[in-house]
């Protein structure tokens, strides 16, 4: 019985290599066929379709937030079951049991008790090949458990670092973060340095998102703590801000704007390629002329000098074309909303709210602005 052994060894080799690429290898895998990718896509499609039927946004976001952690647990279970099945076929091919006529399921049971080192003793191998396989599988079981225990802290550390940078945008750019609100809260002559520092921080933050999400793609499915926040929305807002600063808004931080724009775009494009999310261009304009006029007027009231000539608009359109098709593709694939350029109405920031409601006693015009100059 050579065929079961060949199939079993092939299953074991594929799963071990997949686990190595997913957990140990710290770089993107460009190979087209990957079992882990197929597992995630087979889960994410139905999950996204199920949540799409839920009309209430809070419930929908809650259900979407479960997918990231559950997908990791399901992946571990899939790997374990596949390894048990593969070793079971090898046991079956080697006729490792003394009982004649034992079914393949008995050998898979032997494999399961050996993988998890149960030591029940009701089914044991009787020949040297079977004993060797049992020792190898039990050692692999310990290694598999260690792999899981080491993988989860790395995932949650990457998630935590990402969320800290997103939460810091609450007072600086609103909830959700928008280009208009970020620039408005960094208006005035004393805000140039804090704005440049913020762009510098997000140049590094976007690089960290790229590195962690490329190495561990499952982090991309983890949702933020608030329904109106996401790593995709934050990156989109920073791209909107830097494209404005590079094209229409007169400022003295053009160099840092270019660097932040380049890093954020690099992150978006590479992650779109990772999820095979082709750029989308046939969608409604995120910044139609009337919205651009509202944006320009809001920035002028905040003290910015906004150019409204043809070359500036053309440059802004060109810059937007470099990233918007990719953020739209990621938004559709990951089911994450993109922020507008400017809010249609005033929205209370997350830091102003609590489980018992908004901060009371403050009219919109009387609410204190966050001290961005202290940066």
- In a domain? residue 101: yes
- Token pair belonging to 100: 């004649």
Last residue of a domain, one of 118, 151, 184: 151
25/216 Cα distance (integer angstroms)? 10
Does one domain contain both 132 and 276?
no
Q: Which of 100, 117, 151 is a domain's end point? A: 151
Q: Is residue 354 part of a domain?
A: no
Q: Is the peptide bond before 368 cis (omega within 30 degrees of 0)?
A: no
Tally of domains within the chain: 2
Does residue 353 sit within a domain? no
| Together in a domain, 130 and 213 | no
Report the DSSP beta bridge partners of residue 249: 306
338 with 310, same domain?
Answer: yes
> 68 with 120, same domain?
yes
pLDDT value of residue 349? 80
Could you tell me which residues are beta bridge partners of residue 306? 249
Gap between the Cα atoms of 291 and 287, Å rounded: 6
Rounded Cα distance between 224 and 243, Å, is: 25
Do residue 296 and residue 224 come from a single domain?
yes
Q: At what angle do helices 57-94 and 2-19 cross, to 10 degrees?
A: 140
Residue 269 shares a structural domain with residue 307: yes
Judged on CB neighbours under 10 Å (0-12, 13-18, 19+), 89 is: buried
Tokens representing residue 55 in the block:
């009309």
What is the per-residue pLDDT across 205-228, written as a single tens digit (0 to 9) for each? Answer: 999 999 999 988 999 999 998 888
* Same domain as 312, residue 192: yes
Alpha-carbon dihedral sign for residues 330, 227, 289, 184: negative
Q: Is residue 356 part of a domain?
A: no
pLDDT at residue number 358? 57
**Whole-angstrom Cα distance, residue 266 to residue 57?**
30
According to DSSP, residue 360 is labeled P
CA distance 360 to 66: 33
**pLDDT tens for each residue of the chain, 375 residues long:** 788 889 999 999 999 998 888 888 777 777 778 888 889 989 999 999 999 888 888 899 999 999 999 999 999 999 999 999 999 999 888 886 766 667 888 889 989 998 988 877 778 888 888 889 899 999 988 888 888 888 888 899 999 999 999 999 988 998 899 999 999 999 887 888 999 999 999 999 999 999 999 988 999 999 998 888 999 999 999 999 999 999 999 888 989 999 999 999 999 999 999 899 999 988 888 999 999 999 999 999 998 998 988 999 999 999 999 999 999 999 999 999 999 999 888 887 888 876 666 554 443 444 444 444 444
* Model pLDDT, residue 364: 43
Cα–Cα distances (Å) from 53 to 59, 177, 329, 372, in that order, read: 11, 27, 20, 41
Give φ, ψ of 187 to 5 degrees: -95, 160
Domain of 144, CATH number, reads 1.10.287
Conformation bin of residue 279: beta by default, left when phi > 0, alpha when psi is -120 to 50: beta
Q: Are 71 and 43 in contact (CB under 8 A)?
A: yes
Domain membership flag for residue 186: yes
Q: Do the domain assignments include residue 159? A: no
Closest CA to 110 of 93, 349, 57, 347: 93
- pLDDT at residue number 120: 78
Please name which of 154, 176, 178, 158 lies closest in space to residue 167, comparing C-alpha atoms: 176
Model pLDDT, residue 360: 47
Return d(Cα 16, Cα 221) in angstroms, integer.
Answer: 24
Helix (H, G, I), strand (E, B) or coil at 353: strand
**DSSP code for 76:** H
Q: Is the dihedral of CA 132, 135, 139, 140 positive or negative?
A: positive
**Does 184 lie in the same domain as 122?**
no
Q: What angle do CA 354, 201, 155 make, to 5 degrees?
A: 70
pLDDT tens for 141-153 read: 888 888 888 888 8
Quick one: tokens of 305?
């000098």
> Using alpha carbons only, how large is the chain's radius of gyration in Å?
27
For the record, the structure tokens of 262 come out as 């380049």
pLDDT digits (tens, 9 = 90+) for 80-130: 999 999 999 998 888 867 666 678 888 899 899 989 888 777 788 888 888
Q: 239 and 335 share a domain? A: yes
Which residues, including other chains, have CB under 8 Å from residue 143's CB and lie 6 or more apart?
A: none
Token pair recorded at residue 121: 């003793």
Domain boundary among 151, 185, 201: 151
Query: Both 73 and 135 in a single domain?
Result: yes
Please check whether residue 352 lies inside any domain of the structure.
Answer: no
**Residue 32 falls within a domain, yes or no?**
yes
Domain residues for the domain of 255 are: 168-346+365-374
Q: At CA 283, angle to CA 281 and CA 289, rounded to 5?
A: 105
| Cβ atoms 118, 51 nearer than 8 A | no
């Amino acid at each position: 019985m050579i065929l079961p052994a060949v199939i079993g060894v092939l299953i074991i080799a594929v799963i071990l290599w997949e686990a190595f690429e997913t957990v140990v290898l710290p770089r993107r895998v460009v190979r087209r066929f990957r079992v882990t990718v197929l597992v995630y896509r087979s889960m994410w499609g139905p999950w996204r379709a199920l949540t799409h039927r839920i009309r209430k946004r809070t419930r929908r976001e809650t259900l979407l937030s479960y997918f990231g952690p559950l997908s990791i647990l399901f992946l571990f279970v899939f790997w374990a079951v596949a390894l048990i099945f593969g070793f079971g076929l090898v046991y079956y091919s080697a006729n490792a049991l003394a009982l004649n006529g034992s079914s393949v399921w008995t050998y898979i049971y032997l494999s399961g008790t050996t993988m998890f080192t149960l030591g029940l003793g009701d089914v044991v191998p009787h020949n040297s090949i079977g004993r060797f396989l049992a020792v190898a599988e039990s050692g692999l079981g310990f290694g598999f458990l260690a792999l899981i225990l080491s993988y989860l802290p790395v995932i949650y550390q990457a998630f935590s670092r990402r969320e800290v940078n997103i939460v810091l945008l609450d007072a600086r750019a609103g909830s959700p973060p928008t280009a208009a609100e970020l620039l408005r809260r960094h208006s005035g002559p004393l805000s140039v340095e804090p704005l440049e520092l913020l762009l510098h921080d997000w140049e590094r933050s976007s690089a960290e998102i790229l590195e962690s999400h490329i190495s561990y793609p499952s982090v991309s499915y983890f949702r933020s703590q608030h329904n109106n926040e996401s790593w995709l929305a934050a990156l989109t807002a920073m791209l909107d801000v830097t494209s404005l600063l590079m094209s229409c808004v007169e400022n003295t931080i053009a160099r840092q704007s270019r660097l932040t724009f380049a890093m954020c775009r690099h992150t978006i494009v590479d992650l779109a390629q990772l999820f095979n999310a082709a750029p989308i261009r046939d969608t409604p304009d995120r910044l139609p002329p009337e919205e651009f006029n509202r944006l320009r007027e809001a920035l002028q009231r905040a003290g910015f000098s906004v150019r409204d000539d043809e070359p500036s608009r053309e440059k802004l359109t060109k810059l937007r074309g470099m990233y918007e098709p990719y953020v739209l593709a990621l938004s559709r694939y990951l089911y994450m909303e993109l922020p507008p350029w400017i809010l249609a109405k005033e929205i209370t920031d997350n830091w102003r709210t609590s489980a018992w409601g908004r901060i009371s006693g403050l009219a919109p015009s009387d609410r204190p602005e966050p001290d961005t100059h202290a940066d």
